[in-house]
Amino acid sequence: MAILDKVNYPEDLKKLSIYELRQLSEEIRDYIKRVVGEEGGHLASNLGVVELTISLLYTLNPPEDKIMFDVGHQCYTYKILTGRKEQFPKIRKSNGISGFIAPDESEYDLFYVGHASNSLSLVLGLATSRDLKGEKYKIVDVIGDGALTGGEAWEALNNLGHLKKDVMIVLNDNEMSIAKNVGAISSYFSKLRAQKPYRNAVKSINEKLSKRGKLGKSVVDFLEKTKLILKQAIIPGMLFEELGILYFGPFDGHNIPLLIEVFSIIKDLDVPRIVHVITKKGKGLSFAEENPEVYHSSPAFLKEIKKKKTFSKVFGEEMVKIGEKRKDVVAITAAMELGTGLKDFKERFPERFFDVGIAEQHAVSFASGLSKGGTIPVVAIYSTFLQRALDQIILDVGLQKNKVIFAVDRAGLVPGDGPTHQGIFDLSYFSFFEDFILMSPKDGNELSLMLDFALQTKNTCVIRYPKDSADNLPINTDLTPYRAEVLSEGDDLLIISLGKMSYYAYNILESLHKEGIYPMVLNMRFANPLDIDTVLKYARKTKRVLIVEDHFKFGGIGIRIKPILMDISGIKIKHLAVSETYPPVGTREELLKRYKLDEKGIKEECERIVGKKVST
C-alpha cells in the first residue's frame, strides 16, 4: 500500500516515521509529475518544495497555525496534504481546484495569492491582529528568493523588524542568488553578524539541539560547517539582521529530518526570524532541473499537443527583426523573459535586454528614464502584473511625456490561473491618457503592423494581446492610423470588435450568411483614439450594434461607444464583455464560452439581435 493512500491531512503525517516521510515525498513528486504531465501546470517550482512542505505541515498545527505561500504557484504538495488529494487531477480546470492558494477551497488556505512579494505584508497584518486579540497561533510565510526582488517584500521586512512580531519566514532559495538580486544594497552589510540578540539566539538553539541526541548534534555540526560559508557570503544574513530579523541557515531544503528538527526549535521563538533553505527547482525530473524556466509553467509533456504560433511568439520574432534594424530599441521585462517571447532578443542583443526581476514599478520608471535618454524602450509585461505599476504609468510615463511602448501580454481572459491572473483591466487605466495610443491585433500579421507603427509615432503606445494562437486571417489591410478596418460589408447589423474578438467575428460570417444574416464587421484596431466617425457611419445604417471585447465590461471600448450611439433614433445595442470582476479557473475556451465571447456565443447574439431563431 502506498504511503500517500493513507495520508489526507497534516495530522496523518505525524503518524509516519522519517523513512515513511521520505517515501511519501517521492510518491507526491510522482503524483505531481503525472498530473502536470497530462494536463500542464506549474511544475519545476512544485517539484522543488515537496520535502519543505511536508516538514512544515509535520512541525506545525494547521489550520490553527497559519502557513502562507508567496505567489502560491508552489502549493501543489500543500493542497495534496490538506484534504485535496482526490481533487488534484482537476487542478487549474473549470469546477476543479485552483493552481494557487484559494480560501474558498479550504480552511487551510489563508489568502488568495498569485502575484509576488506581497505575502509578508499580509502575514504581518495578520500577526498584528493576532497579538491585539491576545491569540497565540504561529504564522509562517514561505517566500522565494525571486520574490525578494519585489520592493513590497522589503517594505514589509523593514516594518516587521520594527514591530518585532512573531513571524517565521522560510526563504526558499532555489539557487537564484539573493546577493545578485539585492545588488548594491547588500554590499553595505558586509560586516560580520555580531549583534547580541543573534548570539543569544544561536547559543540557545545550539544548546537545545545538543540535548536532542545524535540528530540534534548533527544539526549543530552542520551549522558549524556553514559558518565559513556564511562569513564568505554573509550578505543575505547581514541584511536581515540589520532589519531586526534573526537569520538561520542555509539548510538543505530536501532533508526532511533536518528540516523537522530545525523548524521544531525555531518555530517556538517569538521574534521575527528567517530560515534560509536551499532547494532545487524541478527536483526529480532531469529536464525540469536543467530547464526550470521552461518548465515553470509547463505544458503537458506526457501526451502530444499540437503547438500553434502564439502572439507572444510573433512578438518575440518581430522584436529580433526590430533590434537588427534599430539600435535605439531596448527590451524590458519583469522576470518573464521566456513567457513574453524575449529570449531570442536577449541572446541576440544582450546589452539591450533588461530583466529587472519581479519589479514592475521599477521596470516602468526605468523605461521612462531610458526614453528620456533617447532610446525607445519596449516593456513586455503580462497585463495582470502591469497593473502593479499604475502609479508609475501615470506619473513617470504619462506626466513626463516620455515615449514607452507597452507590449501587454496575456491581455483578456487567461487560462488556468484563475482570478489573480486575468488581464481584463488594462484598457481601463490606459484610457486615462488622451495621448496614449491603445491597439489590439486580431492576428499575428496585425501585431507586426502595430509594432512598426508604434516605433514611428512620438506617442506612448500600448499593444494588448491574449495568450492565444496568432493564426492569420486571409484579410490583411494596411494599418491606417486611428482608423478601424472593415472585415465584411453587410446591412443587418454592425459588429464592433477589438483584437482577437475580430478574428472570431470574421470566422462566423460564413455560417451567418447561410442563415441570411449579413453583418458589417468592424475591427476597431485602436482602442484609443476610437474611430467614432466610422462607428457612427455604419451604426446609423444598420441600427443594430453588437460590441464584442475581451475585457471587463466597465473600462473597455463598449462603455465609451454606447453613450455616443444612444443618440441614434431606434438604435439597438448589445455589449458582450467579461461580466465578472474575478473570472474563475478554466481553460481559455471555457472562459470565452462563459461570457459568450467564443464564436458560438457571438453568432447566437447576432441571431438574437436580428430576430432570428437562435441555432443550437
**Whole-angstrom Cα distance, residue 146 to residue 177?**
9
Residues in CB range of 124: below 8 A, 6 or more apart: 156, 159, 160, 163, 165, 167
Residue 227 has pLDDT above 70, yes or no: no
Q: What is the DSSP letter of 419?
A: G
Residue type, 93: K
Opening angle at CA 80, ends 75 and 81, nearest 5 = 100
For residue 522, the tally of other CB atoms under 10 A from its CB is: 26
pLDDT digits (tens, 9 = 90+) for 46-99: 999 999 999 999 999 999 999 999 988 999 999 999 999 999 999 998 888 999
How long a stretch of residues is the chain? 616
CA–CA dist 388, 595 (Å, integer): 26
- pLDDT, residue 355, reads 94
Task: Return the pLDDT at 107.
Answer: 96
The candidate with the shortest Cα–Cα distance to 479, out of 445, 430, 527, 519, is 445
pLDDT band at 204 (very low <50, low <70, confident <90, very high): low
Which of the four pLDDT bands, split at 50, 70 and 90, describes residue 305?
confident
Please give the average per-residue pLDDT across 544-562, as a whole number: 97
Q: So what's the pLDDT on residue 304?
A: 74
Strands 519-523 and 526-528 come out as unpaired
The CATH code for residues 3-278 is: 3.40.50.970
Location of each CATH 3.40.50.920 domain in the chain: 485-610
Give Cα 386 distance to the centre of its chain. Answer: 10
Exposed/middle/buried for residue 562 (C-beta within 10 Å: 0-12, 13-18, 19+): middle
User: Which pLDDT score, from 0 to 100, does residue 187 have?
Assistant: 27
Does position 232 have pLDDT exceeding 50, yes or no? no
Domain 485-610 matching CATH 3.40.50.920: the answer reads yes
Which pLDDT band, with edges at 50, 70 and 90, does 190 fall under? very low
Mean pLDDT of 254-271: 94
**DSSP readout, 121-149?**
HHHHHHHHHHHHTT----EEEEEETTGGG
Cα 106–Cα 107–Cα 110 angle in degrees, nearest 5? 95
Burial of 458 (0-12, 13-18, 19+ CB in 10 A): exposed
Cell numbers that stand for 168 in this block: 517565521
C-alpha 531, offset from chain centre: 33
The whole-number average pLDDT for the span 360-389 is 97
Which pLDDT does position 212 carry in this prediction?
62
State how beta strands 461-464 and 437-439 pair: parallel
Of 273, 388, 544, 594, the active-site residue reads 388
- Is the pLDDT assigned to residue 194 strictly greater than 50? no
**Is a pLDDT exceeding 60 seen at residue 162?**
yes
Task: Tell me the pLDDT band of 189, cut-offs 50, 70 and 90.
Answer: very low
Check whether 345 has a pLDDT greater than 60. yes
pLDDT of residue 206: 58
Task: Give the pairing of strands 329-333 and 353-355.
Answer: parallel
Q: For residue 213, what pLDDT band results from cuts at 50, 70 and 90? A: low
Task: Find residue 338's DSSP bridge partners.
Answer: none
The answer to whether 583 touches 572, Cβ cutoff 8 Å, is no
Collect all residues with Cβ–Cβ distance below 8 Å to 105 and sequence separation of at least 6: 84, 97, 98
Highest mean pLDDT among 143-147, 232-236, 307-311, 496-500: 496-500
User: Domain 311-464 has what CATH class?
Assistant: alpha beta
Task: Give the least confident one: 199-208, 340-349, 413-422, 549-558.
Answer: 199-208
Indicate whether 457 pLDDT > 70. yes
> Does the annotation mark 388 as catalytic?
yes
Question: What average pLDDT does range 387-400 have in this prediction?
Answer: 97
Average pLDDT over all residues of the chain? 89
Instruction: Work out the pLDDT band at 230, boundaries 50, 70, 90.
Output: very low
The neighbour count for residue 221, using CB atoms within 10 Å, is: 11
Share of the chain above pLDDT 90, in %: 76
φ, ψ for residue 335, nearest 5 deg: 65, 25
pLDDT of residue 233: 45
Q: Catalytic one among 280, 281, 525, 544?
A: 281
pLDDT band at 195 (very low <50, low <70, confident <90, very high): very low
- Determine the pLDDT at residue 176: 47
Q: Which residues in the chain are classed under CATH 3.40.50.970?
A: 3-278, 311-464
610-614 average pLDDT score? 78
Q: Which of 195-209, 234-248, 315-329, 504-518 has the lowest mean pLDDT?
A: 195-209
pLDDT-based confidence at 207, cuts 50/70/90? low
Q: Which of 360, 446, 485, 549 is catalytic?
A: 360
CB atoms within 10 A of CB 43: 28
pLDDT digits (tens, 9 = 90+) for 103-125: 999 999 999 998 899 999 999 99
The number of angstroms, rounded, from the C-alpha of 224 to the middle of its chain's C-alpha atoms is 39
CA 504 to CA 508: how far, in whole Å? Answer: 7
* Cell of residue 223, nine digits: 551549522
